Amino acid sequence: MSATHPTPGNNLDPWYDLYAERTSGLSASEVRALFAVASRPEVVSLAGGMPFVSALSKDLISDAFQEMMSTQGPMALQYGSGQGVPALRERIVDVMGEEGINASPDDIVTSTGSQQAIDLVAKLFLDPGDVVLAEAPSYVGAIGVFRSYQARTVHVAMDSDGLIPEALRETIARERAAGRTIKFLYTIPNFHNPAGVTLSAERRAEVLEICQRNSILVIEDNPYGLLYFDEAPPSPIRSLDEDGVIYLGSFSKTLAPGFRVGWSVAPHAIKEKLILAAESAILSPSSFNQMLINRYLEQSDWRAQIGVFRGVYRERKNAMLDALGEYLPDLTWTNPSGGFYVWATLPEGLDSKQMLPRAVTELVAYTPGTAFYADGDGRQSLRLSFCYPTPEAIRVGIRRLANVVGAEIALRDAFSGTGSLDEPIDRRYVSAPPPDLG
């Protein structure tokens, strides 16, 4: 049979001209491009946000699996409800109760990771050109979703106490004066990805009040809240308001991301639309994985398991901050009280994106700050993840990073004329040009 093809788009993709306009927002994230290089065993990767799942007891998971298959096998293998498995939604109420959220199982919609919940919320609310407010910086996966719906992410400044309310007020006023429609604020109040800071209790109330007054919905994304090191963070924004907040949770960081189970809690009318959007996208999330998690939560001490994770991440965070203090005193960095990430700022004149190829040559990887901005900002910063490598590997990685930063400082000074031409050049730093990673 002979095939008829449309007018060729380009040499690489003959269908290029047929794509919907919104696909122009689909591009591989900087994190993804990096994974290929950073996953080589000789590289210490401080780049990804992979939870340390080896700290999870495999026996508990296989016990839950055996029990589920012997008692509910056919149901677990069947299509489920678009809203999610009812028994799991009851357990999720308990999980959220740990953080001070009151909700009923009927308020909850489960999803394929909280990433899908971000996508469904964006699908429900965003028209091309709409504005989403988000912290500066913000989660790369959310920025990508908003871009794919042709919305504009507008960043709002933050400091060590999280989003700055005054900056939020100013940004709302500025965007509205320019005639733009703000649909929602997307915020990560606890152990922010990538900034590693936590929104203070006072600011939670103030941010909510600003959004209420301006009829802006709050999307509160909280995958890390239970992973605090010493003290629990302030109660979620959702605990202050049931009507103006969509809350997103996930089992990816407190259990394992391979299950791909997250959830949203939304005001009633929005929840109904979320279910319709979920059904249209995937019919129902995986019954199998939800029922397995439900069994695990029912028959294991999941709170103790989260305690184990806290201990692991606390030790790694300490290793990272100690190593930064020892090897990289020229940088500044945040001091997270939970979660996976430290946000570090380079000395003036250094560029984390340009520096990355040299870092990979030195066998250490990080995520450049630009990945976490929709507008190309963030060059002087980088995200360092301490969740996956061992404390020893973290020390090695930071020591290697110190070599890289030292070389970049030497280069900066040589070109800015502040370095001395009489000083011998450290050959280690100029032996070979770094590879071009595009």
Ligand X SMILES: Cc1ncc(COP(=O)(O)O)c(C=O)c1O
- For ligand X, the binding residues (CB under 6 A) are 49, 113-115, 139, 141, 188, 193, 221, 223, 250, 252, 257, 262
Least separation in angstroms between residue 48's CB and ligand X is: 9
Helix (H, G, I), strand (E, B), or coil: what is residue 164?
coil
Q: Which is nearer to ligand X, 72 or 250 (CB)?
A: 250
Task: Indicate the Cα dihedral angle 322, 327, 333, 338, nearest 10°.
Answer: -30
Please state the closest distance from residue 336 (CB atom) to ligand X, in A.
Answer: 13
Q: How far is the CB of 31 from ligand X (least distance, A)?
A: 9
Six-digit token pair at 34? 């990096």
Distances (CA, A) of 136 to 100, 182, 381, 402: 27, 16, 12, 26
Point out the residue whose Cβ comes nearest to ligand X: 113
Gap between the Cα atoms of 163 and 397, Å rounded = 30
Distance set, CA 405 to CA 321, 402, 418, 434 (Å): 16, 5, 17, 14
Q: Taking the complex as a whole, how short is the minimal distance between the CB of residue 363 and ligand X, in angstroms?
A: 24
112 or 239: CB nearest ligand X: 112
Nearer of residues 323 and 371 to ligand X, judged by Cβ: 371
Q: How far is the CB of 110 from ligand X (least distance, A)?
A: 11
Cβ-based nearer residue to ligand X, 183 or 383: 383
Closer residue to ligand X (CB): 80 or 113: 113
Residue 397 CB, nearest approach to ligand X (Å): 20
Residue 3 half-sphere exposure, CB side, CA atoms within 13 Å? Answer: 3
The residues with which 136 forms a beta bridge, in sequence order, are 157
R_g (Cα) of the chain, nearest Å = 23
**Least distance to ligand X from the beta carbon of 75, Å?**
24
| Nearer CB in complex with ligand X: 327/366 | 366
DSSP H helix total and E strand total for the chain? 13, 14
* Cα→Cα distances 410→73, 332, 346, 429, Å: 63, 19, 14, 9
| Unique residue bearing structure tokens 């605990």 | 239
In terms of CB distance, is 51 or 397 closer to ligand X? Answer: 51
